[in-house]
Chain A
């Protein structure tokens, strides 16, 4: 059982012209990840691009491991051109994932844009009534509507900045609204999205004195905590996103 293994491409599906679901079949036994953990994918057999790209685990089954990503630059462009039966080097699971909410706690999940990729497996794992606030710029950035609908415990509130889908708002307005109405509740907030959103959600849960877990992104090289390339400043000094993270608790940040 190794965290460094080869996998074969089963399928590469385009959810939209910009969003790709990459489904892989590991060619060796691999470890079972927890939601929030990530993998480094080698995008090229050559030395350019040199570094592996980090992606959150989107789904994991016995014979299949998949990632959901947006085409951003060269690395994701190459990955989105993979074809069935191509092989790729996979490295993971890495880092620390989301702890599940405690017995009595209710989960409130906040996804900004591609943050949904990391939070979707968490939503599947929680298995009790949960609210998801899912925000993006516009309608075409809202993914997985059917899959989210079929999660029986999850009530989804969709918002877009331009109002083309769901309510016209950022995730912060419905979040504040919910928290104001439920101050007495034992709520654990989970958030993944752009830094600006993370900071705003963090301020809000501090204000309501709630527990929260945040998944951060930083450029990475080794993925193992060795190069110190991926640090973020926390309450307790510089912490490595690849090792102490990518999921940090509200107190840590």
Chain B
């Protein structure tokens, strides 16, 4: 049975990755998950300088999901390279760094510093551009195109992944990314959402708005992966509410070459391994020799 897949030039022993921000820097989960058995570890979004993030409360549980407003807290590039990366390098797995910036220049500098150092760089563009009045990089096609174009120039060796926001026209933005030479796309990021305590009339999150993740968003993610898969030719990494191997297969049938596990890590600390076992079980059940034969395997007479 072949489980190995490729995201452009990045070879993975299986399609299971972790979703940025839900698996720390890998070390936090290494007691429960043999990191050698993962296709790739995607770390918490890194910025040039350490960031403090939003004040608490930062999370709120919703039906089959959760809101978070971590606000990009991270250790910063320097500490990541000095302490977090060496830990991950003890394992035989790919390291993908999710990056976030406040300005175009910050993305470009991060790409320059990380190129060749890690197997892949994932651009999280759902961040406010402080120089353009706080509009998200993922919101405006021109800004989106520009940041990708400039970052692409600096990424010469690593695989370049762009993470798409579910708030945009994903087909349109996927096409722009493909035209700018991006190697792969990942989606979906969390969906902006909010919750109110009706007794105090105050927001549940100190930041008012947070991102919805977990099983509640899975059908949205599956649809968007299908949309992107049927629009572009570059590989797609699917995520959003994957809890079981069956959920992962659903994304693969919708067109995902690899999948990422996010909120599920909070439900089961060994979620990634359970999902990997579930994928294998499905393949045995249907005598699937090669996982790649399932990618985009949705049957539909439309």
Chain A residues in the interface with B (C-beta under 8 A): 2-4, 42, 47-52, 91, 218-233, 237-238
Does B263 have its Cβ within 8 Å of any Cβ on chain A?
yes
When the two chains form their complex, are residues B59 and A50 in contact, meaning their CB atoms are under 8 A apart? no
Q: Which residues of A contact B52 (CB under 8 A)?
A: 237-238
List, sorted by A's number, 23 A–B pairs whose CB atoms are closer than 8 Å.
A47-B64, A47-B214, A47-B243, A49-B61, A50-B61, A50-B66, A218-B57, A219-B56, A219-B58, A221-B59, A221-B66, A222-B22, A222-B24, A222-B265, A224-B24, A224-B269, A226-B24, A227-B24, A227-B68, A229-B68, A231-B56, A238-B52, A238-B53
Which residues of A have CB within 8 Å of B29?
Answer: 224, 226
**Interface residue B229 (Cβ < 8 Å from any Cβ of A):** no
In the complex the two chains form, what is the Cα distance from A26 to B266 in whole Å?
21
User: What B residues does A227 contact at CB under 8 A?
Assistant: 21-22, 24, 59, 68, 70, 266
CB atoms of B57 and A48 under 8 A apart: no
Tell me, in angstroms, the Cα distance from A220 to B32 when the chains sit together. 18
Residues 17-28 of chain B, each 1 if its beta carbon lies under 8 Å from chain A, else 0: 000011110001
Task: Report the Cα distance A233→B29, complex, angstroms.
Answer: 24
The listed residue (A47, A91, A220, A238) touching B73 by CB distance below 8 A is A238
Residues of A contacting B28 with CB < 8 Å?
222, 224-226
Given A48-B63, A50-B66, A224-B29, A229:B58 Cβ within 8 A: yes
- Decide: B214 and A50 in contact? CB cutoff 8 A: yes
Kindly state the separation between the CA atoms of A3 and B31 in the bound complex, as whole angstroms: 9
A-B contact count (CB 8 A): 96
Chain A interface main SS type: loop
Q: A47-B215, A51-B66, A219-B57 are in contact. Are A228 and B73 (CB under 8 A)?
A: yes
Chain B residues in 8 Å Cβ range of A220? 59
Query: Is residue B65 within 8 Å, beta carbon to beta carbon, of the partner chain?
Result: yes
A229 touches B59 (CB 8 A): yes
A230 to B22, CA, bound (A): 13
Complex CA gap A4/B269 in Å reads 8
Question: In the bound complex, do residue B265 and residue A4 qualify as a contact, i.e. CB atoms below 8 Å apart?
Answer: no
Taken together as a complex, chains A and B put the C-alpha atoms of A163 and B70 apart, in Å, by 42
List the B side residues contacting A91 at CB < 8 Å: 269
Task: List chain B residues, Cβ under 8 A from A47.
Answer: 64, 214-215, 243, 267
Bound complex: CA of A225 vs CA of B214, how far in Å? Answer: 19
B55 in the interface (beta carbon within 8 A): yes
Judge if B144 is at the interface, Cβ distance under 8 Å: no
Q: What is the CA–CA distance of A49 and B22 in the complex, to the nearest angstrom?
A: 18
* Interface: B270 (CB within 8 A): yes
Given contacts A48-B63, A231-B58, contact A222 B266 (CB under 8 A): yes
A221 to B243, CA, bound (A): 15
- B32: A residues at CB distance < 8 A: 2-4
The answer to whether A231 and B53 touch across the interface, beta carbons within 8 angstroms, is yes
A231 contacts B61, C-beta separation under 8 Å: no
Interface size of B in residues (CB-CB distance below 8 Å): 34
CB distance from A57 to the nearest CB of B (A): 18
Q: How far is the CA of A179 from the CA of B70 in the complex (A)?
A: 40
Within 8 A of A (CB), among B24-79: 24, 28-29, 31-32, 44, 52-53, 55-61, 63-66, 68, 70, 73
Residues of A within 8 A of B68 (CB): 221, 227, 229
Most interface-central of A227, A231, A238 (chain B CB within 10 A): A227
Find the B residue at minimum CB distance from A237: B52
Known: A51-B266, A222-B28, A227-B68. 7 other contacts (CB 8 A): A49-B61, A52-B267, A224-B24, A227-B21, A227-B266, A229-B58, A233-B55
Complex Cα spacing A226 to B55, Å: 17
B53 near A50 with CB under 8 A, answer no
User: Smallest distance from the beta carbon of A93 to chain B beta carbons, Å?
Assistant: 13
Task: Give the shortest distance, in Å, between B247 (CB) and chain A (any CB).
Answer: 11
CA distance A222 to B32 in the complex (A): 12
Bound-state CA distance A50–B265 (Å) is 11
Pairwise interchain contact A219-B64, C-beta atoms closer than 8 A: no
CB distance from A230 to the nearest CB of B (A): 7
Closest-by-CB residue of A relative to B23 is A226
Provide the B238-282 mask, 1 if CB < 8 A to any CB of A, else 0: 000001000000000000000000010111011000000000000
Cα(A51)–Cα(B62), bound, Å = 9
Residue of B nearest to A233 (CB): B55
State A28–B245 Cα separation when bound (angstroms): 26
When distances are taken between beta carbons in the complex, the residues of chain A under 8 Å from B215 are: 47, 50
- Considering only CB atoms, which chain A residue lies closest to B65 in the complex? A50
B73 — nearest CB in chain A belongs to which residue? Answer: A228
Assembled-state Cα–Cα distance A225/B30 (Å): 12
Q: Tell me, in angstroms, the Cα distance from A237 to B269 when the chains sit together.
A: 27
